Amino acid sequence: VLNGYFLAVRGASQRCYFSAVGGITFNALDYFSAETQPDELVNIATHGDELWMFGQSTVEVYVPAPDPDAPFLRINGRIFVMGCAARDGVARLDDGLAWVGQDRVVYHDAGVPVRISTETIEQALVANPTADLTAWGYTVEGHITYVLNIGTVATFAFANGKWTQFDGPGYDYLPAWSSARLTDGKVVVGEDKKVAALAIAMPEAI
């Protein structure tokens, strides 16, 4: 949702559909398309007043526009040629967006995409199917963390410029898909079978 519009990507297409302001349905003609390359959209995400459109080979950034027939406008100069490898590898963080690129590099939005992955992370990404990737983020005491699950192989977390690994009881990985911060400062992470409290640790470099 951005600027009162619901937004949705049609599978196997370049099209991003928008509702009427405050509406919950989509007209078949109310859409705009990624412009730079004829690549399928993998995901869309918002940060502030920006709409990021993640294609297979490019990333484009849009902002709201006053025209109700074309309510979003691409920002000139905010086109990045690295693409997105996995829909669920995109996570919205307090300081921007992070995602796994088509080149199996993890990027973080710092005005322009910045590589944050190490060779260890990238080797793990190359060795495993992108369909198994999921990501989410959380912040505790100012520590902004991007968490990347590589299927059931491993869970890597990036914070304070370093990567570490998480695991869960009886697992070699942390089987979590999302998080929420409680009023006492704890972060609760959820998966299919249970919910557990997660306390942030200062990551050790790997």
DSSP assignments along 134-179, one per residue: EEEEEEETTEEEEEEEETTTEEEEEETTEEEEE--TT-SS----EE
Predicted local distance difference test score (pLDDT) of residue 94: 92
Predicted local distance difference test score (pLDDT) of residue 180: 83
The CA-atom distances, in angstroms, between 76 and each of 38, 44, 65, 68, 170 are: 18, 18, 14, 20, 49
Closest CA to 200 of 174, 191, 73, 177: 174
| pTM flag (> 0.85) | yes
Residue 141's pLDDT band (cuts 50, 70, 90): confident
Residue 195's pLDDT band (cuts 50, 70, 90): low
Residue-wise pLDDT tens digits, 80-133: 999 999 999 999 999 999 999 999 999 999 888 999 999 999 999 999 999 999
**What is the C-alpha to C-alpha distance for residues 34 and 47, in angstroms, rounded to an integer?**
18
